[in-house]
Amino acid sequence: MSSSTQKTADANIAVVSYDGKQDAESASEAHAKGRSGAMSKRAALSAYMTIAAAAFGLISDGYQNNLMTMSNVVFKKLYPKDYTSDVSTRVSNSLLVGAVLGQITVGLLCDRIGRKAALVTTTLLIIIGAIIGTAAHGAHGSVQGLFWCLTIARGITGVGVGGEYPASSTSASEAANEKVLKQRGPVFIMVTNFVLSFGGPLAVSVFLIVISAAGEDHLSTVWRVCFGIGVLLPLTVFYFRMRMLTTQLEIRFRKGAIKRHVPYWLVIKRYWKTLIGTCGAWFLYDFVTFPNGVFSGTIISSVTKSGDIKSTAEWQLLLGAIALPGVFIGALLCNPLGRRNTMILGFSGYLVFGLIIGIAYEKITKIIPLFIIFYGLMQSSGNLGPGDMLGLVSAESFATPVRGTCYGLSAAIGKTGAAIGTQAFTPIQNNLGKKWTFIIAAICGVTGILVTYFFVPDMTGVDLAEEDEKFLQYLADNGWRGEVGDDEDVPEDDVSSENVTIEKV
């Protein structure tokens, strides 16, 4: 081969150079040695601490997501004239609106600044919002002022809660990939969706304990104590995140970060189909699950017709207990059945149980235990499928440099669906009838099956590093010139993080 021909061939090869000192082959060998080499004790512990931090942080998110379930019932009892359906929807939706903002902004933040900075920021916002909510008052005792204060407080909390999704979930996925690749899916589910789903029974259990201690004659004390406990949960993880989130997570982020000139158009061109799948399926899931969660206490209260708050809470606790096993079944199925098929199975549960409840609503609500069982099975199906899989798929399907951004966008579209569903829930009940909330859930189940089948990839068992390598090669092939990696403040005792430059030669 002539020298000119060789130059032409070389011009079409994307070169990944480490500070200009290594060629592609030696860089690959160095990467393999780095992955297989022994880490320091601190670095080895880091991954486990990251997974644990995600679990503890998301427990507080699950609690906040379900705090209004019984609070709505209490406020309706305390302020029957002032707590209208519009006020109830506004207070409940403020968390969701804040969550959308948090998921988008923190998703960008954790890709551009770092996972640890994002985690600490979200925890602080939850603490601040929860404190304001606990101390909420209206000027001169105004009831409407109280609810506006709660709206603002829940919005601030929502930004923190929403930000936890991309920050905690991406870090947990990366850490699980590092330590337990074959069991990455089940581990991820148990430290994300399980603790989020556990927030429902936890919030109701706390409510039952507080109301049993204070009595139904002191409902103002009851809801404030429940809000106050929402301050304690994130406080328990704050110091943990500041001191125990060690350097390996940050090294992983820095080695894959694109801090300047992020090629968003190329990202969209590569991941548009996947984004349709994750965003669309998450929208449908949250459109069904959030209003049915937030207003389930109100639904149960209307079905029991007793008006007894404690009895409503007990039925609510049973509903949450029935919904929880779906999380474990999804965790067991995600590897042998695959992510996509498990998600389709869960959406099928919306179709089956939503139709059963919707078509037989008048008869089934006369037998309260039977209604609670089918209602719980519908929610359990949601946990089994999209509840377990959406976070996992969104954390696995995108490369490290844009994982937080794409995850945050997918979750934000989901929370938009939750806000729309919560806003539409009462009008649907008033204009079409209560049974239609379940029939629409069945329709969403069918749509979810189609979106999942055609647009959601299955990354079962695939090492996240493989997609990172393909993504960097894709950028090079499309002529992107930029720097990947950041070596600022990397401790000397950990793995080095040379900058990687991607260019067409």
User: What pTM, to 2 d.p., does this model score?
Assistant: 0.74
Do residues 59 and 49 lie in contact, with contact meaning Cβ atoms separated by under 8 Å? no
pLDDT greater at residue 249 or residue 348: 348
What whole-number distance in Å separates Cα of residue 409 and Cα of residue 403?
Answer: 10
What's the pLDDT score for residue 45?
60
CA dihedral 342, 447, 267, 36 (to 10 degrees): 0
- Please report which confidence band the pLDDT of residue 19 belongs to, taking 50, 70 and 90 as the band edges: very low
Give the three-class secondary structure for 41: helix
Q: Which residue has the tokens 């359990």?
A: 380
What whole-number distance in Å separates Cα of residue 502 and Cα of residue 273?
Answer: 25
Question: Is the alpha carbon torsion for 44, 48, 51, 54 positive or negative?
Answer: negative
Do residues 291 and 421 lie in contact, with contact meaning Cβ atoms separated by under 8 Å? yes
Q: What is the pLDDT of residues 278-328, one digit of tens each?
A: 999 999 999 998 888 767 777 787 777 666 788 888 888 888 889 889 999
Which one of 25-39, 101-115, 143-157 scores highest in mean pLDDT?
Answer: 143-157
Which one of 11-25, 85-99, 139-153, 309-323 scores highest in mean pLDDT?
Answer: 139-153
Whether 500 has a pLDDT exceeding 50, the answer reads no
Whether 184 has a pLDDT exceeding 60, the answer reads yes
Please report how the helices 435-455 and 403-432 are oriented relative to each other, as an axis angle in degrees rounded to 10. 150
Whether 358 has a pLDDT exceeding 70, the answer reads yes
Average pLDDT over residues 202-217: 89
Of the candidates 224, 159, 234, 150, the one whose C-alpha atom is nearest the C-alpha of residue 195 is 234
What whole-number distance in Å separates Cα of residue 70 and Cα of residue 171?
Answer: 32
The string of DSSP letters for 214-232 reads H-GGGHHHHHHHHHHHHHH
Which amino acid is present at 53? A
The values of phi and psi at residue 15, to 5°, are -110, 130
Residue ranges per structural domain of the chain: 40-242+261-479
Domain 40-242+261-479: CATH architecture, name and number where available = Up-down Bundle (1.20)
Average pLDDT over residues 149-173: 83
Query: What CA–CA distances, in Å, run from 206 to 66, 216, 229, 294?
Result: 11, 15, 9, 16
Whether 24 has a pLDDT exceeding 90, the answer reads no
Do residues 135 and 195 lie in contact, with contact meaning Cβ atoms separated by under 8 Å? no
Average pLDDT over residues 398-425: 86
Structure tokens at 434: 């209560």
Whether 102 has a pLDDT exceeding 70, the answer reads yes
Give the three-class secondary structure for 12: coil
- Of 95-109, 241-255, 372-386, 445-459, least confident by mean pLDDT is 241-255
Q: What is the pLDDT of residues 415-458, one digit of tens each?
A: 889 889 888 887 888 888 888 989 999 999 999 999 999 999 88
Whether 501 has a pLDDT exceeding 50, the answer reads no
Non-local (6+) Cβ contacts of 220 within 8 A are 78
Of the candidates 387, 399, 245, 395, the one whose C-alpha atom is nearest the C-alpha of residue 328 is 387
What's the pLDDT score for residue 282?
94
What's the pLDDT score for residue 332?
93
Report the mean per-residue pLDDT for the chain. 79
- Please report which confidence band the pLDDT of residue 380 belongs to, taking 50, 70 and 90 as the band edges: very high
From the CA atom positions of the chain, what is the Rg in Å?
24
What whole-number distance in Å separates Cα of residue 225 and Cα of residue 202?
Answer: 14
What's the pLDDT score for residue 252?
56
Give the three-class secondary structure for 483: strand
Whether 174 has a pLDDT exceeding 90, the answer reads no
Q: What is the pLDDT of residues 39-87, one digit of tens each?
A: 455 555 666 666 776 777 778 888 888 888 888 889 988 998 888 888 8
Query: What CA–CA distances, in Å, run from 247 to 39, 43, 55, 182, 207?
Result: 12, 7, 19, 24, 39
Question: Is the alpha carbon torsion for 187, 190, 192, 193 positive or negative?
Answer: positive
Of the candidates 172, 184, 154, the one whose C-alpha atom is nearest the C-alpha of residue 68 is 154
What whole-number distance in Å separates Cα of residue 285 and Cα of residue 262?
Answer: 30
